[in-house]
Each structure stands twice: as structure tokens, then as C-alpha cells.
Structure 1
Amino acid sequence: MKKIYIGTSWKMNKTLAEALLFCEQFKTFYPENLKSHIQPFVIPPFTCIREVTDYITTHKLNCLTGVQNMHYQDAGAFTGEISPVMVKDTGAKLVEMGHSERREYFGETDFAVNKKVQAALKHGLTPLVCIGDSAEEKSWGVSAEVVVKQMKIALSGVDKQQATQVMIAYEPIWAIGDQGVPATPDEAEYIHQKLRAALIEVYGNDIAQQMILLYGGSVNLENSTALIVKPNIDGLFIGRSAWQASGFCNILSAINQQN
């Protein structure tokens, strides 16, 4: 059975003490009998990754960890950056890249995302590539074209054997943040259908159906189950609704009961 990935990125939030408190509460609230095909993940800030990973590993919790950014070089004079080698050293498995905030505030380009995808795969890490359309692009009716382009550039040079190791997260820019308006399940599914069709063109149906497409953007307990039942939505990338362990586990529980 295809895995359902349910996770959250903490962005620039949580001290180490707060992160470890989350871990303790996560262990307490972790759903009983969580089905094996449901795969939780958390992406802490860099200062907490090793400790969060160690806690999850020590307590044998089924939860992956990841980093919020990564340089594409293994080492070098790149002050303030983190290399793939350093990411592996923390025990993290996922690498978030291409988030709209990285693109807007730090100039991350589609070309840079592609280089990071290649670097992550080289080191056995899983790229989690974020793509999204703006409110203006949505109003112009070009959302599908925009995100398909971002995805295709990110996957340039990635062969069939590597493609299934890449996860794509559709996060409409107009839906994220505290002022975001979530996409309806039908809106999200429409874009995911277009993404899947593009993957079929590039890799063929068998590979494309194995690839993981996540939806993120104002996901919460109320809309999570309606989103996850859509045929082309393979998981959810949750924001503030999952920053508290109880909220995260409530969503996991709801999806566990439905799937």
C-alpha cells in the first residue's frame, strides 16, 4: 500500500527546550495503532534537528525528520549554509527546498532547487520540493502551468530510478500563513491531477503513480480528511495546526480512522 505522508515544518519557531517538549507530548499523544502506511514527519529548525531525531529514534516513534534548507555543495566557503554531509550527520532524512518564503525572501530560484535536488539524491536524502502559485497567477488562470513548470525544472536530470525518492508539495502561496485561505479539496485535487499528468509524461504511469504529491496550505483538523481522500493527494504538509503535538496527533488520528 502506498504510504500517506503527514508532516509539518516548524519554520523559525521553537527553542531546543520547546522542541523537546513537543517530542515528549508527541510521544504521549501519539495515536495508538497508527497504521503502518501512515508516515508522520517533522522538520525542526537546524538548532534542534539532532536532538529531535535522537529523541524520536530512542523512543522508537515512527516519525521521520528533515531540514528546512540545504546547500548543494558538500563543503566550502559558504558562510551560514548547511551541506548535505552535515544534514546526514544529524540523522535527518528529508530536505525541504523551494518553499515560497525561501523564494521570496532569500532569492531561491528553480535552478537552485534543481541543484539541491541533485545534491540530496546523491547523498541518499529525500528532497521535499515545495511549489506554489500566487494569488495573481490563480486569478489569471495559470496556476497549473506555473507549478508544473516549477516541478519539471526541479526534476530536471532526475532519472526514473531516482524520481520515486522525490516528494513534491503543492503549497499555493495564497493558502499559506495565518491569513491564508485553504484550497478546497477539489481545487487541490485539480492541481494534483495536473502534476500527476505531467509526471506521467516525463516518467511513465508506473513511476508517476509511485511518486508522492503532498498538499500544504492552511491544512487543519477540519479539512484534513476531506483532502487526504482525494486520489492524487498522497499526504499533507501542515503548518501551525501541527506545531503543537496535540494538534498534530489529532490530525494523525483522524486520518488513521479514515484510512
Structure 2
Amino acid sequence: MRKTIIAGNWKMNKTNKETIIILTELKENVQKIDGTDKIGIIIGTPFTALSDAVKTTENSNIKIAAQNVYPKEAGAYTGEISPLMLKDIGVEYVILGHSERRDYFKESNSFINEKIKCVLSYEMSPIFCIGEQLEDRETGKTNEVITTQIKEGLSGISSEEAKNIIVAYEPVWAIGTGKTATPEIAEETHKEIRKVLKEMFGEVAEEMTVQYGGSMKPTNAKELLSQKNIDGGLIGGASLNAKDFSDIIKAAL
């Protein structure tokens, strides 16, 4: 049985002091919610706040994710962060292939694939983001785009390794725009994603968590999460507020 996972991606937000404050509040909120042991809760903070985030969430079921990684253990890569560094401070997840990394920093499917393999080799779990642009949706290329992203991004991954990968579907046109795919549209695409994963990994695909990542918030979370193939959310803006994020967690239960 696959696990529902609610993850927050803070992007380039929150100082260390702010991180400690919001995670302390979130930790207290989660302790008051019955049934949170049945789902996964993850927060992706900026690199600068990761160590404090791990310490603040100790003795809770909140796990911490990095928002990126460079696929080398060490070396002359000025400004980059290695998987060894993340592992050393207690990071358990890494967000990879986010649309902003693909768009602003021109990350290719093959480079994302390299990162995924590297993260897995350090026994951390990738949150692998895929999704189409508005133009792709309007021209009927959604399935073609996501199929290519999945097949190239997860090339060379074994079925056993795939069990440790979370897939996050994020329609790019619904990120930060206030627009949200209807539950029916989201479910249709999630079903297609599951089909491609099954072609690659067999029955393991039924165990893989596929999150929705397009402007999920307290007001629409329950309806989205009630869909058969939507196994949680990768939350942007609403994860920056402890109460809003807590309300989405409640909607998942």
C-alpha cells in the first residue's frame, strides 16, 4: 500500500530564525493531530536552514528535505552542495527536477537523472518533479512531455530503487499562479503517470507515491487528495504558514 506524503517546498524563503519559529509551531500542531503517524510529512528548507531544521524537528515525524544537490561527493564545484554534506546533517529527502530548476537553471532530464542516482546511492529519497507548461497542455502534449521526463529522468533506475522515489506532478501553469488543475484533470494525469511507471517498474508502480504539486491549499486539498491516484502534495506557498500546512495535513487524514 502506497503512502500519502505531504511535503512543503519553501523555495528561497525563511531565515534560520524564521525556520526555527515555524517548525516549532508546526511540530506542536502535528502532535495535536491524530493519525499523523499514518502519513509522511516533509519540509524542504533552503540550504542555510537545513541543519537548524533537522535539529528543530528531532523527536517528531517531520522529515527534512534539501531543495537541490550537486551529484558529486566533493571537489572543485564552487557554490554547490554535495549529497555527503546533506546526509551528514540528517537530511533524508532531496527535491529534484523542480520546474524552476528546469526553467531558470536549464537542468536537463539527463542531469536530473544523474542527481537521482547520486541521491539514492547515499540512501536518501528523491522527490522527483515532473510537469508540463501551459503551451503543452493547450496543444495536447501533456502525456508526451511527462512520459519523456519520467523515462529519461528515471533511466537506469531499478525497480527496487524506485520504491524509494517520490514522484511529484506539478503542472507548471498552476504553480504560483493561483490556478489549480481540477481534481479530475489532476487525477487523469496522475493515472497516466502511474501507467508509465508501471511500464518501467512493474507492480512496484502501485507502491510509489505520486504527489500533486500545483497550488494545493487548505481550501482544495481534501478534494484533490480524495482522488484515487493522488497520494499527497508538494506544497509551495501554503507550506510557509504553519496553520495552513497543518490544515492540509488534516485534509490528508
Give CA deviations for 1:83-107 in whole Å, capped at 9, x if unaligned. Answer: 1101101211111011111111111
Q: Distance in 2 between matches of 1:248 and 1:137?
A: 30
Q: 1:18 is matched with which residue?
A: 18
Q: Distance in 1 between matches of 2:52 and 2:25?
A: 15
Kindly state the Cα deviation for residue 75 of structure 1 after the two structures are TM-superposed.
Answer: 0.9
Q: 1:220 is matched with which residue?
A: 217
CA contact (8 A) 1:151 1:168 kept: no
Is the partner of 2:37 in helix, strand or coil?
coil
TM-score, normalisation: structure 2: 0.97
- Which deviates more, 32-41 or 218-227? 32-41
Is the partner of 1:165 in helix, strand or coil?
coil
CA contact (8 A) 2:4 2:252 kept: no
Give CA deviations for 1:220-257 in whole Å, capped at 9, x if unaligned. Answer: 1111111111111111111111211111111112322x
CA contact (8 A) 2:27 2:62 kept: no
Q: 1:186 is matched with which residue?
A: 184
Q: How many residues were matched structurally?
A: 252
Q: 1:203 is matched with which residue?
A: 201
Q: Distance in 2 between matches of 1:148 and 1:15?
A: 37
Kindly state the Cα deviation for residue 117 of structure 1 after the two structures are TM-superposed.
Answer: 0.5
Give CA deviations for 1:200-230 in whole Å, capped at 9, x if unaligned. Answer: 11111x2010111110111011111111111
Is the partner of 2:220 in helix, strand or coil?
helix
RMSD: 1.1
Trace 1:1-259 onto structure 2 (pairs within 5 A).
Answer: 1-30=1-30, 31-57=32-58, 60-177=59-176, 179-204=177-202, 206-256=203-253
CA contact (8 A) 2:16 2:48 kept: yes
Structure 1 unpaired stretches of 5+: none
Is the partner of 1:33 in helix, strand or coil?
coil
Is the partner of 1:40 in helix, strand or coil?
strand
TM-score, normalisation: structure 1: 0.95
Q: Deviating runs (4+, > 4 A) in structure 1?
A: none
- Which deviates more, 206-215 or 34-43? 34-43
Give CA deviations for 1:62-121 in whole Å, capped at 9, x if unaligned. Answer: 111100000111111111111110110121111101111111111111110000011011
Q: Distance in 1 between matches of 2:83 and 2:182?
A: 36
Is the partner of 2:234 in helix, strand or coil?
strand
Q: Distance in 1 between matches of 2:251 and 2:128?
A: 26
Give CA deviations for 1:3-36 in whole Å, capped at 9, x if unaligned. Answer: 2100111000000110011012112322422342
CA contact (8 A) 1:174 1:180 kept: no
Q: Distance in 1 between matches of 2:237 and 2:10?
A: 8
Q: Distance in 2 between matches of 1:35 and 1:55?
A: 18
The percentage of counterpart residues that share the same residue type is: 38
